[in-house]
Structure 1
């Protein structure tokens, strides 16, 4: 198995080292520094007049990867610890390592060829340190009622370190939360300004700033509720409502709950409500759940369907009851006269 893995690298090196057609470039030593969990790029610095053809990378004398020019490049990775973490942008073919680990520290070399040079050599030294990367911020949810929304933001350190505390603020002395999560109403001044999450680590702090309204609008597709139909008969109206949310990078699932009780009344994008005569219509909330967030909207069925005023069902019910009463009175009067 080991011989099978090394064979493509060996063939590529034979291609690079064609006798009599190459000149070895002087070793170009470069010292690079990366932050734990971050990324680093080893620049090839190929002259603009030349085009990259192929190359072989090594780390600490071990074969790391080979790359052949193309869109996208053809890449073969030999070290399993780097699987999924190597990038070779087709504009430069420089090596980029993402999600850096402490064990990535060490020496890296590359032997490559271009359309005008059959053999070139670069050497690098990488030092990975435990610096403070900016925390990541995610919009967990956007809950809206009419035109007012509440934004829920979550802050986290990317490498999952322990002994980390968080705080949110929208001014140097205005603390919004001392937790990794903050809830910001749209009417709050912070929703219209930038808010900052600060991660407090044992060896320092790290922070990131976003605008809640703009950030959530980009991250979480807004949810809308539309009234499909209302039909009324015998004093009872039947409301059919539909929840709509964009699918942005994944499947969307829906659920309907009552505002007061929180009880789930339906799953799926369609909700049908049939209140009894004189029964108050409860406000309902539709929640659209996306792969990494959710958005919800609350509304009353009567408010959603203004073309069908609520007094229609009441009027129908009163008319029906009035007819029954008049018939009863007529029968009673007929009996008395008789």
Structure 2
């Protein structure tokens, strides 16, 4: 750093410590993507950018702007624009999440960055089943394998009809008999994914066998009834 800038930087740091109340902006980023923080403060001659309490860069509003980076780690993925009133981060990492701020002429603007992964995998499994009196009901669970995806919302639909919100869906036999396609939709702050289940009973073999038991019982009763009718007519024909 030039000797000329040492006293000036000390003065600027002193001014930086006396700031007015700040406004906060929520910013959402995608892992591997990029974000930009914009300060709309038109005043001042210098901007102080910080990550928490750690200085990132000081920008003196010259033409071109003069940059004073405090740490090497910020020089590869961080860049300033709009003469220092905007800060961009590329190739976002999970550890980039946190609070950023810029102070210009004693006025501070803060930005809370959240970084999320995109949804990449979605599975549907049979969670539980209950069969009694030849009838079965079962529960399907829609889930994602990664817990670091942020706040996730779930919904279950049949065509355009919303059946349930949340990862679990209770399927009774009246619903499964319709042979409708079920769709689980999952959403986090940066992506959306859907999975369809065309034959939900296949996921729960016990429920499927329960239906066959019920069908077998009904068929057995019908056969017994036909046999009884046949025996009645047979006996009458023989004079018994």
TM-score, normalised with respect to structure 2:
0.51
The match for 1:332 is 229
User: Aligned equivalents of 2:176 and 2:126: distance in 1?
Assistant: 21
Alpha-carbon offset, residue 123 of structure 1? 9.7
Matched, 1:296 2:194: yes
Aligned equivalent of 1:65: 16
Distance 2:170 2:59 in 1: 68
Tell me whether 270-279 or 282-291 shows the greater mean CA deviation.
Answer: 270-279
Structure 2 matches for 1:5-24, cutoff 5 A? none
Q: Deviations over 1:218-254 (max 9, x none)?
A: 4236332221234444553322111223443643332
SS at match of 1:319: helix
Match of 1:275 among 165, 169, 173: 173
Relative distance call for 1:287 and 1:299 in structure 2 (3 A) is: same
Where relative contact order (Cα < 8 A, 6+ residues apart) is larger, the structure is 2
User: What corresponds to 1:125 in structure 2?
Assistant: 61
Q: Which residue of 1 aligns with 2:5?
A: 28
Matches within 5 A, 1:1-338: 26-28=3-5, 57=12, 64-66=15-17, 77-80=18-21, 99-101=38-40, 103-104=42-43, 106=45, 124-126=60-62, 127=65, 128-129=82-83, 218-220=117-119, 222-245=121-144, 246-248=146-148, 250-258=150-158, 261-276=159-174, 279-300=177-198, 301-305=200-204, 307-308=205-206, 310=208, 312-313=209-210, 315-336=212-233, 337=235
| Shift of residue 332, structure 1, vs aligned partner | 2.0
Q: For 1:272 and 1:315, locate their aligned partners in 2 and report how far apart those are by CA, in whole Å.
A: 20
Separation in structure 2 between the aligned mates of residue 321 and residue 277 of structure 1, nearest angstrom = 20
Greater fraction of residues in helix: 2
Match of 1:164 in 2: none
Q: Which runs of 5+ in 2 are unaligned?
A: 26-36, 49-57, 66-81, 91-115
TM-score by length of 1: 0.38
Q: Is the 1:238–1:272 Cα contact (8 Å) retained in structure 2?
A: yes
Number of residue pairs matched by the alignment: 169
Between the aligned partners of 2:175 and 2:185, the Cα distance in structure 1 is 28
Task: Give the unaligned 5+ runs of structure 1.
Answer: 1-24, 30-41, 45-54, 67-76, 86-97, 110-121, 137-216
Q: 2:38, 2:123 → 1: CA distance?
A: 38
Assess, with a 3 A threshold, how the Cα gap between structure 1 residues 281 and 231 changes in structure 2: closer, same or farther.
farther
Q: Give the C-alpha shift of residue 257 in structure 1.
A: 0.8
| Mapped contact 1:236–1:313 kept (Cα < 8 A) | yes
Alpha-carbon RMSD: 4.6
Rounded to whole Å, the distance in 2 between the matches of 1:251 and 1:220 is 12
> 2:195 and 2:24 mapped to 1: Cα distance?
39
